[in-house]
């Protein structure tokens, strides 16, 4: 990185996801854990010789799923940050392995909004910024759906005014 006058200094992005994203992430964790717990519980009820270990496995998995649903979303909320400037889209994710993604405006090809059923329930949306990068799209998750709509409009305006070929 340059250190002289006019140098760009990388700093953490300023914006956090919507606070409701914690509930959305919790619901996703619980749904992921619920399927194998239900299978083990049903098998435990149906298969008498293995009832004890199947039921115990279901209980352990349920406890781990609950613990994960309580703790991980809080960590994710602390780790996920995003920001859009006139020059680039910045996204930071990850708890143990931090990932910083920067998409220069001149490289943006498409901007999409996704609102799955759970996101709609929580009033959230995900904005996906596709670039010519081999790493793939930059995703900003857990945005309030109105914030996401405003962000897409802003990104569209900025990228149209930014010279470059987006390749």
The confidence score (pLDDT) of residue 4 equals 52
As given in the structure block, the two tokens for residue 126 are 């995900």
Q: Greatest CA span in the chain, whole angstroms?
A: 75
Give the pLDDT confidence score for residue 149 in this predicted structure.
Answer: 96
CB proximity list for 81: less than 8 A, separation 6 or greater: 12, 13, 14, 15, 16, 90, 91, 92
Does an H or E element contain 131, and which?
strand 124-131
Find the helix or strand (DSSP H, E) in which 144 lies.
strand 138-144
Distances in Å between the Cα of 116 and the Cα atoms of 11, 56, 91, 127 are 31, 34, 21, 12
Q: What string of pLDDT tens digits covers the 167 residues of the chain?
A: 444 555 556 778 999 999 999 999 999 999 999 999 999 999 999 998 888 999 999 999 999 999 999 999 999 999 999 999 988 999 999 888 989 999 999 889 999 999 999 999 999 999 999 998 778 899 999 999 999 999 999 999 998 887 766 55
81-161 has CATH 2.30.29.30 classification:
yes
User: In degrees rounded to 5, what are phi and psi of residue 82?
Assistant: -150, 160
Domain coordinates of the chain in residue numbers?
21-77, 81-161
């Amino acid at each position: 990185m340059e250190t002289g006058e006019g140098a760009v200094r990388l700093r953490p992005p300023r914006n956090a996801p919507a606070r409701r994203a914690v509930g959305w992430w919790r619901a996703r964790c619980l749904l992921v854990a619920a399927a194998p717990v239900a299978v083990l519980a049903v098998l435990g009820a149906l298969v008498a010789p293995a009832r004890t270990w199947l039921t115990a496995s279901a209980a352990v998995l349920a406890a781990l799923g609950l613990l994960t649903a309580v703790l991980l979303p809080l960590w994710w909320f602390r780790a996920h940050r995003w920001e859009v400037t006139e020059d680039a889209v910045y996204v930071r994710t990850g708890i143990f392995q931090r990932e910083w993604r920067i998409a220069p405006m001149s490289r943006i090809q498409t901007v999409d909004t996704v609102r799955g059923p759970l996101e709609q329930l929580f009033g959230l949306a995900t904005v996906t910024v596709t670039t010519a990068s081999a790493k793939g799209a930059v995703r900003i998750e857990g945005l309030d759906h109105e914030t996401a709509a405003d962000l897409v409009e802003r990104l569209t305006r900025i990228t149209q005014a930014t010279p470059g070929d987006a390749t």
